[in-house]
Amino acid sequence: MLSRLKDADKFGKTLIRMLRMILQAHPPTFLGLILLTALQALTPLASAWVTKLLFDLLALVLQGNPSVDLWSDLIFLLLVQGAIFIIGQVCVSSTMYLNNELGRKLAVLTETSVYRKISSFSGIGYFENPEFYDTIRLASQAAQFGPLQSLGILTGLFQSIITIFTFLALLLAFNPFLAMLVFLAALPQLWLQLKFSRQRYGLAFDLSPDERRTFYISYLLSAVETAKEIRLFGLAEYLLDNLRALYHKIHQARRRQELHELQWKLALETLSSSTFAVAFGVVAIQAFAKRMSLGDITLYINAMRSLQEGLSSMFSAIAGINEQILFFTEYDRLMELPQPIPINHSSRPVPKLSHGIEFRKVSFRYGENQSWVLHNLNLFIPANKTLALVGSNGAGKTTLVKLLARLYDPTEGEILWDGVDIREFDTDELRRNIGMILQDFVRYAFTAQENIGFGQISRISDLARIKRSAEIAGIHPMIENLPHGYQTLLSHAFGENGSGADLSGGEWQKIALARLFMRQADMLILDEPTAALDAQAEYEIYNRFTELVEGRACLLISHRFSTVRMADMVAVLENGSISEYGIHNDLLARGGAYARLYHMQADRYRVS
């Protein structure tokens, strides 16, 4: 019971919040909408009243009372009826326009807030949780369509409440029993509609993972990134089969729900038609007893029908709002999600790195049920030096740098920046002091200038600096030769036909390197930065590299020993911790893991 009460409380609060959002989106449009809706709601009653007067007049005429006044009254009433009709129509069209206009404003507001919220998560832990994706999907749907639909429903509700009250008053005065009968017969609808709305929400939740998967497969079948492999491996039919199976499953679930609703709706319609027949009978009996004029009869029959319709649309509206609110709670849930990593607002400035970065007894696993990736790891990255981190695939090298950039926090232990735990800094401030190129860097469908400028967003317009970074990365001449130079879009998916460009794997890597070089950071991290570069390009970059990293700490992750040799020091990551640490020659002489890995690679080049 208590939880029910709490639910009702939340229901009210959510509704008020939704209404406030609608009002805040654009107050004049909102007020205009309310006024038009009220006007529209009054037209059925006005029209019914004029019809009654018309019929009464007609009866007088039929009784052989054709005075001139009567005719002029008749014409006047017809004109009034016409005017009411026109006003009603104008209201309908204008309301629709205002409704759409307000909906557009709201959609922009709420959708940007969804994406702002997602971007505000400092750590990336949520992105590994499938439920998070369902919440995002449902929340952005609720945010995009919910306000518009709720608004439509609310104005409909407002209108039907006015209609209901006017006709209910009329009928109560005529015959309270009849009024109650019509009202009670409509009640089961409310219960059913509410039940359906909850079921539809549950269904949307259950089907969300499958629906997301259909989007994913559609993407695989239509994207430029996947077009090559899909053809080379002949995967299209297999994926299409998958897609068909998913649609089959989704449609079956929806069909079941709709058939279930249909059954109940048919039963209810039978009930309401029977009620109407009874009510019609009551009116007819009264008419035969000559207690009513012809006009009265039409008025009451009209009133009953309108009351019944009004009640029915009011109940659908209530259920509709219930459904919108249920979906909107997903938006709330997203908006209330806490930071995945604790955020420190103390805004302690990040000092210029003078000593170095220390991993102290750091252990990490991606989830409670997962195995440890790093275990009791100790590592020192000196300022002003380049440290190469080597280790086999899956050893945890990328994981280690993700911890350093606070995309995750260590499960145990601490990471110290000149002796201060990095959790004590503002995360954004910390990241501003770290320049990083990731193994899976992003190829933005933006211009070359933007692709590089993204490395230091505050300098995105500084073309001179962007060109300098491109020069260091060895990609400047290539960009100059593109159809629009630095303004060339690095994608064929957008822009005018033929205006975009596609780059080779190594060229993209150079773009990512240039992006890194844009950054003025104390600490540089390069995760497999030259894997796709040819030997000449790698050699040239490293010639400039030494100059570039001068005075900064640099962590270099690579499987290529030609790259590793550029570093001042080497650390070997094995079984979750650092097994060897020293300079290249010493480690080779030691004949341990590093020497073994080195010789394995060197052997491949040796002519036997």
Residues forming contacts to Mg ion in the complex (CB under 5 A) are: 397-398, 439
State the nearest-atom distance from the C-beta of 397 to Mg ion, in Å: 5
CB burial string 13-27: b at 16+ within 10 A, e below: ebbeebeebbeebbe
Question: Residue 396, interface with ligand ATP (CB under 6 A)?
Answer: yes
Q: Using H for helix, E for strand and C for coil, what is the string for 55-78?
A: HHHHHHHHCCCCCHHHHHHHHHHH
β-partners of residue 574 are: 577
Taking every pair of Cα atoms in the chain, the longest distance, rounded to a whole number of angstroms, is: 126
Q: Compute the distance between CA of residue 25 and CA of residue 3 in angstroms, rounded to an integer.
A: 32
Q: Is 5 exposed, middle or buried (0-12, 13-18, 19+ CB in 10 A)?
A: exposed
Give the one residue of 52, 397, 510, 519 binding ligand ATP; rule: CB under 6 A: 397
**Residue 52, CB-side half-sphere exposure with 13 Å CA sphere:** 16
State the nearest-atom distance from the C-beta of 223 to ligand ATP, in Å: 23
Give the range of 12-20, 147-155, 194-202, 365-373 binding ligand ATP by CB under 6 A: 365-373
Give the range of 103-111, 150-158, 380-388, 397-405 binding ligand ATP by CB under 6 A: 397-405
Count of CB atoms situated within 10 Å of the CB of 172: 14
Of 168-197, which residues contact ligand ATP (CB under 6 A)?
none
Q: Whose Cβ is closer to Mg ion: residue 304's or residue 526's?
A: 526
Question: Residue 393, interface with ligand ATP (CB under 6 A)?
Answer: yes
Give the range of 25-33, 300-308, 392-400, 457-465 binding ligand ATP by CB under 6 A: 392-400
For residue 212, give the nearest of 131, 149, 286 by alpha carbon: 131
Question: Residue 398, interface with ligand ATP (CB under 6 A)?
Answer: yes
State the nearest-atom distance from the C-beta of 370 to ligand ATP, in Å: 6
State the nearest-atom distance from the C-beta of 398 to Mg ion, in Å: 3
Give the strand order in the sheet containing 356-364: 374-382, 356-364, 412-417, 420-421
Question: Residue 461, interface with ligand ATP (CB under 6 A)?
Answer: no
Q: Whose Cβ is closer to ligand ATP: residue 388's or residue 489's?
A: 388
366 binds, among ligand ATP, Mg ion, none (CB under 5 to 8 A by kind): ligand ATP
Q: Whose Cβ is closer to ligand ATP: residue 383's or residue 572's?
A: 572
Q: Using H for helix, E for strand and C for coil, what is the string for 347-376?
A: CECCCCCCCEEEEEEEEECCCCCCCCCEEE
Torsion 201-204-208-212 (CA) sign = negative
Side chain identity, residue 260: H
391 binds, among Mg ion, ligand ATP, none (CB under 5 to 8 A by kind): ligand ATP
Site size for ligand ATP (CB under 6 A): 13
Question: Residue 399, interface with ligand ATP (CB under 6 A)?
Answer: yes
State the nearest-atom distance from the C-beta of 594 to ligand ATP, in Å: 15
394 binds, among ligand ATP, Mg ion, none (CB under 5 to 8 A by kind): ligand ATP
Question: Residue 489, interface with ligand ATP (CB under 6 A)?
Answer: no
128 binds, among ligand ATP, Mg ion, none (CB under 5 to 8 A by kind): ligand ATP
Q: Compute the distance between CA of residue 112 and CA of residue 131 in angstroms, rounded to an integer.
A: 21
State the nearest-atom distance from the C-beta of 505 to ligand ATP, in Å: 16
Contact status, residue 413 vs residue 581, Cβ threshold 8 Å: no
Q: Whose Cβ is closer to ligand ATP: residue 394's or residue 498's?
A: 394
Of 527-556, which residues contact ligand ATP (CB under 6 A)?
none
Alpha helix locations (H) across 121-235? Answer: 130-174, 176-222, 224-232
Q: Is 176 exposed, middle or buried (0-12, 13-18, 19+ CB in 10 A)?
A: exposed
Question: Residue 422, interface with ligand ATP (CB under 6 A)?
Answer: no
State the nearest-atom distance from the C-beta of 125 to ligand ATP, in Å: 9
Contact status, residue 353 vs residue 383, Cβ threshold 8 Å: yes
Question: Residue 394, interface with ligand ATP (CB under 6 A)?
Answer: yes
State the nearest-atom distance from the C-beta of 374 to ligand ATP, in Å: 9
491 binds, among Mg ion, ligand ATP, none (CB under 5 to 8 A by kind): none
Give the range of 104-112, 328-336, 353-361, 388-396 binding ligand ATP by CB under 6 A: 388-396
Q: Whose Cβ is closer to ligand ATP: residue 398's or residue 433's?
A: 398
Count of CB atoms situated within 10 Å of the CB of 324: 26
Q: Compute the distance between CA of residue 33 and CA of residue 16 in angstroms, rounded to an integer.
A: 18
Fill in the per-residue mask, 426 to 445: x = in contact with ligand ATP (CB under 6 A), - = not in contact: -------------x------
Count of CB atoms situated within 10 Å of the CB of 480: 12
CB burial string 227-245: b at 16+ within 10 A, e below: eeebeeeeeeeebeebbee
Q: Whose Cβ is closer to ligand ATP: residue 393's or residue 536's?
A: 393
State the nearest-atom distance from the C-beta of 267 to ligand ATP, in Å: 51
Q: Compute the distance between CA of residue 435 and CA of residue 532 in angstroms, rounded to an integer.
A: 20
Count of CB atoms situated within 10 Å of the CB of 293: 15
Give the one residue of 11, 183, 205, 366 binding ligand ATP; rule: CB under 6 A: 366
State the nearest-atom distance from the C-beta of 407 to Mg ion, in Å: 13
Give the one residue of 325, 373, 512, 556 binding ligand ATP; rule: CB under 6 A: 373
**Residue of this chain nearest to Mg ion (CB atom):** 398
Q: Compute the distance between CA of residue 577 and CA of residue 586 in angstroms, rounded to an integer.
A: 20
Phi, psi at 126, each rounded to 5°: -60, -30
- Strands (E) in 438-597, as ranges, are 523-527, 553-557, 569-574, 577-582
64: left (phi over 0), alpha (psi -120 to 50) or beta: left
Give the range of 144-152, 267-275, 387-395, 454-462 binding ligand ATP by CB under 6 A: 387-395
Question: Residue 563, interface with ligand ATP (CB under 6 A)?
Answer: no
Give the one residue of 9, 128, 131, 534 binding ligand ATP; rule: CB under 6 A: 128
Binding residues for ligand ATP (CB under 6 A): 128, 366, 370, 373, 391, 393-399, 439
